[in-house]
Amino acid sequence: MERIARRRDLQARADAERAAGHRIALVPTMGALHAGHLSLIETARGHADRVWVSIFVNPTQFNERSDFESYPADLEADAAACEAAGVDLVYTPAVEDLYPEHSQSWVEVDELTRSLCGAGRPGHFRGVTTVVAKLFLAAKPHVAVFGEKDFQQLAALRRMTSDLGFDIEVIGSPTVREADGLALSSRNVRLGSVAREQATVLVRSLEDAERALQAGERNRETLLEIVKARLSEAPLAEVEYAELRDPATLAEASARLVGPTLLALAVHFPADPEGRGSSVRLIDNRIIEREEEADAPVRNVSSTLLEERP
């Protein structure tokens, strides 16, 4: 497995691979790799001849400097995991390589980043879209793979890729979950034991809403009440949002649900009462729709986000 740290070297490698007729897939990460990241690598392998992983803790997407400084970093362990997964190349740029001194340029997606996570994290998505644009220009991939757990991020990156004319296919990979259903995240290890036990309330609330919809409930507010009732069963849970949204535009879902609908959650868990663990923000989501109304082109909306509608 090759390791490259400088952007100019990666661009030269990309030019050589393209000239040889090889198809490149890029999996952008911030390290702290887990099984969810490995599933992205596996997805990428099915769409390209070469799989590249970038490992870069992006300072511009953190709202708090302390969160950036405390982000878990073990480059050697991550590189070993990539090599074991059959990755062909790992890109590990320094901050100054992607953000030269006096950098003033940003890439920002407007409407899609205003709600949900964007409402409470000003500047976060601007940092994400800017760094991914830089990674695209450095790696020159044919394909880029991102997790569907970060649904709003995936939507914004698809829109950016389309709006700026990047000739790159953006692929969403399904959320990987732990045995009890909790969506895999590098943050899960920071949960105290009590909070970790209660954190499964997120996936249970998604399941409750889906069951209610399948049983015939279509009222948006009733479904949200069902979700919030389940979330309230976790005493430590502090709900940031629980919303039903159009999966293509992220606009609020209609009062009576029609077609596939995104149910998105963000919940904070503080340290356990005994002081174990630390404050953690978890997100999760699911596309819900009535089974008898589903057809293949629409049911796959989570992996074909932001295609132009007629």
- The span from the CA of 98 to the CA of 238, in Å, is 36
- The span from the CA of 165 to the CA of 181, in Å, is 37
Comparing CA positions, the residue from 16, 85, 75, 77 lying closest to residue 45 is: 85
Residues 65 and 123 in one domain: yes
Residues 46 and 169 in one domain: yes
Instruction: Report the DSSP pairing between strands 24-29 and 143-147.
Output: parallel
Contact partners, residue 262, CB within 8 Å, separation at least 6: 151, 244, 245, 246, 247, 250, 253, 285, 286, 287
First-to-final CA distance of the chain: 45
User: In the beta sheet, which residues pair with residue 263?
Assistant: 244, 286
Residues 81 and 104 in one domain: yes
Residues 243 and 284 in one domain: yes
Residues 151 and 232 in one domain: no
Catalytic residue among 22, 34, 37, 47: 37
Residues 41 and 75 in one domain: yes
Residues 20 and 64 in one domain: yes
The total domain count for the chain is 2
- The span from the CA of 227 to the CA of 150, in Å, is 19
Contact partners, residue 134, CB within 8 Å, separation at least 6: 98
Residues 152 and 204 in one domain: no
Contact between residue 56 and residue 130 where contact means Cβ atoms under 8 Å apart? no
Residues 164 and 15 in one domain: yes
Q: Model pTM?
A: 0.92
Contact between residue 54 and residue 91 where contact means Cβ atoms under 8 Å apart? yes
**CATH value at residue 57:** 3.40.50.620
**Exposure letters 162-194 (e unless 16+ CB within 10 A, then b):** eeeebebbbbbbebbbbeeebbbbbbbebbbeb
Looking at the chain, list the stretches that DSSP marks H as alpha helix, in order from N- to C-terminal side. 7-19, 35-45, 65-69, 75-84, 95-98, 117-120, 124-139, 151-163, 193-198, 201-214, 220-231, 296-299
Tokens of 220: 């948006």
Domain, as residue range, for 131: 2-173
Residues 152 and 240 in one domain: no
| Residue 99 belongs to a domain | yes
Concerning whether 47 is annotated as a catalytic residue, the answer is: no
Q: Which of 127, 148, 173 is the last residue of a domain?
A: 173
| Residue 204 belongs to a domain | yes
Residues 160 and 234 in one domain: no
Written as tens digits, the pLDDT of the chain (310 aa) is 999 999 999 999 999 999 999 999 999 999 999 999 999 999 999 999 999 999 999 999 998 787 787 788 899 999 999 999 999 999 999 999 999 999 999 999 999 999 999 999 999 999 999 999 999 999 999 999 999 999 999 999 999 999 999 999 999 999 999 999 999 999 999 999 999 999 999 999 999 999 999 999 999 999 999 999 999 999 999 999 999 999 999 999 999 999 999 999 999 999 988 778 899 999 999 999 998 776 544 444 444 444 433 3
Q: Which of 129, 146, 173 is the last residue of a domain?
A: 173
Tokens of 97: 């390589």
Contact between residue 93 and residue 138 where contact means Cβ atoms under 8 Å apart? yes
Contact between residue 218 and residue 257 where contact means Cβ atoms under 8 Å apart? yes
**CATH value at residue 214:** 3.30.1300.10
| Residue 68 belongs to a domain | yes
CB atoms under 10 Å from CB of 111, counted, come to 12
Give the pLDDT score at 291: 85
Contact between residue 280 and residue 190 where contact means Cβ atoms under 8 Å apart? yes
Residues 169 and 235 in one domain: no
Contact between residue 198 and residue 299 where contact means Cβ atoms under 8 Å apart? no
